[in-house]
Amino acid sequence: MNITQKTKVSLYHGDCVAGMKNHVAPESVDIIVTSPPYNLGIRYNSYADLKDWNEYFDWTAEWAKEAHRCLRPDGSLFLNIGGSLKSPLLPHKVVDLLTANGDFVLQNTILWVKSIAMPEVDPTTKVKVEKQRGHYKPINSERFMNDLHEHVFHLTPKGNTQLDRKAIGVPYADKSNINRWGHTGGDDLKCRGNVWFVPYKTINRAVLDRPHPATFPDELVVKCVKLHGKNGSSVVMDPFLGIGHAAYASIECGVKEFIGFELDSVYLDVVQEELTARKYLFEAHQVEH
């Protein structure tokens, strides 16, 4: 066992709707960080990501209902969902669906920026140039621009969940502003805001290094967990675990417990192999129906 591990890790193989219903008590989860399938034809190992849209939205409402049942009244659901160039309204349709019946309130909208062009001075020529930071897959199109961001919707049961904004705060560039505002408390940290630049690591061997086609970085999850706060006592859940980035990030944050559900046994094997390689303890279960 890794002596730094503080987190109880429970992994479940099977459908997350049945899993949450049968294995997670009501109002027992503090933080849900997840990224469900987008229904955009992504090539998963076994899941067919091209449902009829009515079927997809019915299924979305079904898993969201169970997620709401599991979440504490002051909990947070951080929902990462991206659209496509041909379906740009998908993220907004999903969040409209989750808030329509009053179960969730959209408390914050976070833009996850994967790549961005930034000005900098070339150290050799001293000329200001723009340099692309981060990575993206370029498209060949005369109509669309490369899509470099996704949404992370912060949904809460009542819209009044308190956050620890300075847990992911950034220092003031102008230190004279530290005491200018009464709410700063004299700390050299200010709210990061809702635009987060979190690039992917460069992957040269996609099959070996990234066997799942649609992952999010550990750092994105770490920011969500720290922002919610109460990290040492939090229970974190990911209903769509994939290859386990939410699990690794939760252990890094030292949360009390992590619960993950994954339908695909191949992806779940990757998670268990990685946890074993890091010498972390975990419990593996089969979802009961």
What pLDDT, in 10s, does the model give residues 100-157? 989 999 999 999 999 999 888 888 888 888 888 888 888 898 989 988 999 999 999 9
pLDDT at 212: 53
Is residue 226 pLDDT above 50, yes or no?
yes
Average per-residue pLDDT in the chain? 89
The string of pLDDT tens digits covering residues 9-32 is 999 999 999 999 999 999 999 999
Instruction: Give the pLDDT band of residue 232 (cuts 50, 70, 90).
Output: confident
Average pLDDT on 87-101 reads 94
Q: In the 8-state DSSP scheme, what is residue 88? A: T
d(CA 167, CA 119): 28
Both ends of the chain: CA-CA distance in Å?
31
Average pLDDT on 163-181 reads 83
Residue 130's Cβ-count burial label (10 Å; 0-12, 13-18, 19+) is exposed
Is residue 189 pLDDT above 80, yes or no?
yes
Q: Are 8 and 287 in contact (CB under 8 A)?
A: no
Phi, psi of 272 (to 5 degrees): -65, -40
Range among 59-73, 140-154, 185-199 with highest mean pLDDT value: 59-73
User: CA-based Rg of the chain, rounded to a whole angstrom?
Assistant: 20
Q: What long-range pairs does 121-127 form, CB within 8 A, spacing at least 24?
A: none
Is residue 210 pLDDT above 70, yes or no?
no
pLDDT at 2: 66
Instruction: Give the pLDDT band of residue 246 (cuts 50, 70, 90).
Output: very high
d(CA 21, CA 68): 11
Instruction: Give the pLDDT band of residue 185 (cuts 50, 70, 90).
Output: low
pLDDT at 177: 75
Q: In the 8-state DSSP scheme, what is residue 219? A: H
d(CA 164, CA 219): 17
* Single-letter amino acid, residue 47: Y
Is residue 275 pLDDT above 70, yes or no?
yes
pLDDT at 150: 92
In the block, tokens 């070339």 appear at: 122
What percentage of residues in the chain have a pLDDT greater than 90? 64
Is residue 47 pLDDT above 60, yes or no?
yes
Is residue 80 pLDDT above 80, yes or no?
yes
d(CA 163, CA 91): 23
